[in-house]
Structure 1
Amino acid sequence: MTVWDRPEPPTQPVPLDRERIVAAAVALADEGGLEAVSLRKVAARLDAGPMRLYRHIATKEELFDLMVDEVHAEIRPEEQPGDWRGALRVLAQRTRQAALRHEWLADLLGGRPALGPNGLAVTEATLAALDGLADVDTVLRAVETVSAYFTGAIRREIANLRAERATGLSEHDWQRASGPHVMSMLATGRFPALAKAVYDGTDVDAEASFATGLEWVLDAVAAKLTLPGGDSA
């Protein structure tokens, strides 16, 4: 039985329910990451005894599931785009935006499917946007491919943000600091392809890189989708 199938206990004199518990857990995670979240810490945040929380949530993993579903409410668009490409683009962009607001989300993306009501609503809306474009298996692989791209890209971006905070060096500061070492290695002539990338490549910010990569992935997905009648998507 999942946490969503299990009924909550009766209201106590001091109100406590899953909604308040999850809100407190999200606030703790926003402040200090997932390592700052435990049932005891959430209980302390709510000025409640830890055993009271166990009446609502059995494990920390259940709490994480509820937190992810809470954020899925932010990911789900109020109005779904009318075409499959727009739907997948919005899913990717809104997931990235949610992860930038809640960096801990990056640590929980890409695991088991989200089974909460908000997560299921996001999945339903996404699959509905591709309904009829191809057979079910092709549609599922298309969604998995786009999800794999934005999950990896988001994790990389969040990792860079965390490294920036840990070292106190921005991306450009780090590049300047590591520049002498990189230049000396390139001067050996052993890395010609890397040298070309360093000297001739264009530096873009994370948002532009994310958007470009997403469009390339969507182009690849379009080549696999076929509209009724045999026209390419």
Structure 2
Amino acid sequence: MTVWDRPEPPTRPVPLDRERIVTAAVALADEGGLEAVSLRKVAGRLNAGPMRLYGYISTKEELFDLMVDEVQAEILPEERSGDWREALRVLAHRTRRAALRHEWLADLLGGRPSLGPNGLAVTEARLAALDGHADIDTVLRAAETVSAYVTGAIRREIAALRAERATGLSDRDWQRASGPHVTGMLATGRFPALAKAVHDGTEVDAETSFATGLDWVLDAVAAKLARP
């Protein structure tokens, strides 16, 4: 039985429900990451005894599942586009923005499918966008491919943000500090492709990079859907 199927116990003596517990857990994670979340800390924020929470949630993994599902509600658009490409693009960008608001989400994306009502609704929206454009196996592979790109790109961006905070150096500051080493290595002639990228490549911001990569992935999906 999943956490969503299990009935909640009575709320006395301190009023509790899963919604209040999850809201407190999300707030803790937003402040300090997943390492800041424990049933004891959540109980403390709610002025309840830690053992009370076990009537609602059995493990921290269940709590994480509920937290992910809570944030998944932010990903669902109010209106669905009739164009499959635009529908997937909107879901991807809304997922990225949700992860930037809740950086801990990046650590939980890409695992087992979310079985909560919001997670299932996001999956439904992704599959429904492609439904009717190809056989079901092609639809599944296409949805997996887009999801894999979105997850990887988000994790990379969040990792860069965390590195910036940990070192106190922006990307430009880090590049400037690493410049002499990189210049020396490129001067050896051992990395000609990398040298060309460094000297001739155009630097873009994270949002532009995400949007460009997403368009390329959707181009590949479109090519598959166009095949008889």
Q: TM-score, normalised by structure 2?
A: 0.98
Structure 1 residue aligned with 2:45: 45
Matching of residues 11-90 of structure 1 within 5 Å: 11-90=11-90
Matching of residues 71-150 of structure 1 within 5 Å: 71-150=71-150
SS in 2 for 1:120: helix
Distance 2:112 2:85 in 1: 24
Structure 1 residue aligned with 2:170: 170
**Unpaired runs of at least 5, structure 1:** none
Shift of 1:125: 1.6
Which stretch of the first structure deviates more once superposed, 9-18 or 115-124? 9-18
Structure 2 counterpart of 1:114, one-letter code: S
Structure 2 residue aligned with 1:181: 181
Structure 2 counterpart of 1:28, one-letter code: L
| Residue 196 (structure 1) aligned with residue 178 (structure 2) | no
Shift of 1:78: 0.5
Percent identical: 86
SS in 2 for 1:225: helix
Shift of 1:128: 1.2
Distance 1:191 1:130 in 2: 42
Structure 2 counterpart of 1:167, one-letter code: T
Shift of 1:11: 2.1
Shift of 1:226: 3.8
Shift of 1:206: 0.4
**Unpaired runs of at least 5, structure 2:** none
Structure 1 counterpart of 2:2, one-letter code: T
Distance 2:223 2:24 in 1: 45
Distance 2:216 2:125 in 1: 22
Shift of 1:13: 3.1
